[in-house]
Amino acid sequence: MLFSNDSINFLIAISPLIAIKLLKIWNLFDAYRCAVRTNSSRFEKLRKRDKDPWLAVFISSIIPGLGHLYIKKIWLGILLLILFLLLSAIIPSATLFFAAFVVYHSYSVSPVRREKTKKIILTISLLVLIKFSINTYVESRYIPSETMSPTLQVNDRLIIDKLSYSFKAPERGDIVIFHPTDALKEKNFTEALIQRIVGLPGDKIEIKNGKVYINNQPLEEKYIQEPPDYTFNLITVPPDSYFVLGDNRNNSYDSSYWGFVPRENIIGRAVIRYGPLERIGLIE
C-alpha cells in the first residue's frame, strides 16, 4: 500500500509542528523583550557592546553554530556548523544531543550573560533536544487505500515509531513502514508502503486452503478482512528479510507478488492512530 504525499494532507499533518515552532519563536522574542526591560543601564551597555547572549541562544536553536558566529567565536562557530551538517548526513540521531549542547554552550561562552537565566537556557536546550528527538524518531503518515483494511482504514492518521527497531528485531504481527524493494522499484514504486510482518528470517511460508502456514503450522489471524482465496507455494524467508502481507488479503500487492522486504528497508512500526477522532488508539 502506497502512502500519498498530497500537498494539502502534508500541510495538515505538519501544521501542529509549524504552530509549535512559531510559538517557540514568539516565546523567545517575548522573553528577550522582557529581559531587556529589566536590565540595568550598566548591563545594557555591556550587552550592546559585547553581543547579546539571548540572541546567540535564539539563532543557535535554529541552526547550531550561528550563535557562536554572532558572538564573534568565528572559528568555533564554523566548526560547530560543519559538525552539525556532517552529523545530519551521517548520524542523524546524534544531531539532537549535539544541537542541545550547542544552544547551551552559545550562552555559556557569551561575553555577557545573566546567571539568573541559566535555568531558562537549560529549558530551551531541553526543548531543542525534544524537537530533534521528534524529528529523528517519530513521524506521521496517513492511509490512502484499503490494503490494510479492516485494521487501517482510508484516511487514518498514524504515528510511526522509528526508534525501537534500533534495539530489537521486527516481530511477527508488527505493522511496518518500509521503502520499496528493488522488485518494487522496477515497477516504478517510489514511496513507502505499509504492511504486516507474517514471516521472519528462516521461516517456511505457505498459503493454502484459506490460511497462512508458518513452518507447517496454521497462523491464527483475527485481523484479516477475509481468508486468502489464492495459494502460495512453500518458500523460506532469507536471512535479514521479512515476508509481509496486507490484512485485506485479496486486495493487497504484497510479498506474495514481489518477494521479501530486506531489514534495511524497514523505516519503523505503526504504533498509534491519532485520527480520525473516533478511531484514536493503539495499533495492533
* Amino acid 262: pLDDT: 95
* Amino acid 134: pLDDT: 62
* Amino acid 7: pLDDT: 42
CB 3 within 8 A of CB 154: no
pLDDT for residue 242 is more than 50:
yes
* Amino acid 6: pLDDT: 45
* Amino acid 10: pLDDT: 47
The pLDDT of 259-267, averaged and rounded, is 94
Q: How many CB atoms are located within 10 Å of the residue 220 CB?
A: 8
Condensed to tens digits (0 to 9), the pLDDT of residues 96-128 reads 667 777 776 776 666 655 555 555 656 666 666
* Amino acid 8: pLDDT: 46
Least confident of 19-23, 82-86, 141-145: 19-23
CB 229 within 8 A of CB 210: yes
SS3 letters for the chain? CECCCCHHHHHHHHHHHHHHHHHHHHHHHHHHHHHHHHCCHHHHHHHHHHCCHHHHHHHHHHCCCHHHHHCCCHHHHHHHHHHHHHHHHHCHHHHHHHHHHHHHHHHHCCCCCCHHHHHHHHHHHHHHHHHHHHHHHEEEEECCCCCCCCCCCCCCEEEEECCHHHCCCCCCCCEEEECCCHHHHHCCCCCCEEEEEEECCCCEEEEECCEEEECCEECCCCCCCCCCCCCEEEEECCCCEEEEECCCHHHCCCHHHHCCEEHHHEEEEEEEEEECHHHCEECC
CATH T-level topology, domain 144-282: Umud Fragment, subunit A (2.10.109)
Condensed to tens digits (0 to 9), the pLDDT of residues 146-168 reads 889 899 888 888 888 888 888 88
C-alpha cell at 269: 512500526
Mean pLDDT of the chain: 77
The residue among 121 and 5 whose pLDDT is bigger is 121
The residue among 177 and 65 whose pLDDT is bigger is 177
Condensed to tens digits (0 to 9), the pLDDT of residues 163-219 reads 888 888 999 999 999 999 999 999 998 888 999 999 999 999 999 999 999 999 999
pLDDT for residue 51 is more than 70:
no
* Amino acid 208: pLDDT: 92
Q: What angle do CA 65, 98, 83 make, to 5 degrees?
A: 55
To the nearest whole percent, how much of the chain has pLDDT over 90? 29
pLDDT for residue 272 is more than 80:
yes
The CA distance from 159 to 273, in Å, is 6
Least confident of 35-39, 139-143, 194-198, 253-257: 35-39
* Amino acid 25: pLDDT: 59
- Predicted TM-score (pTM) of this structure: 0.58
* Amino acid 15: pLDDT: 56
In the chain, CATH 2.10.109.10 sits at 144-282
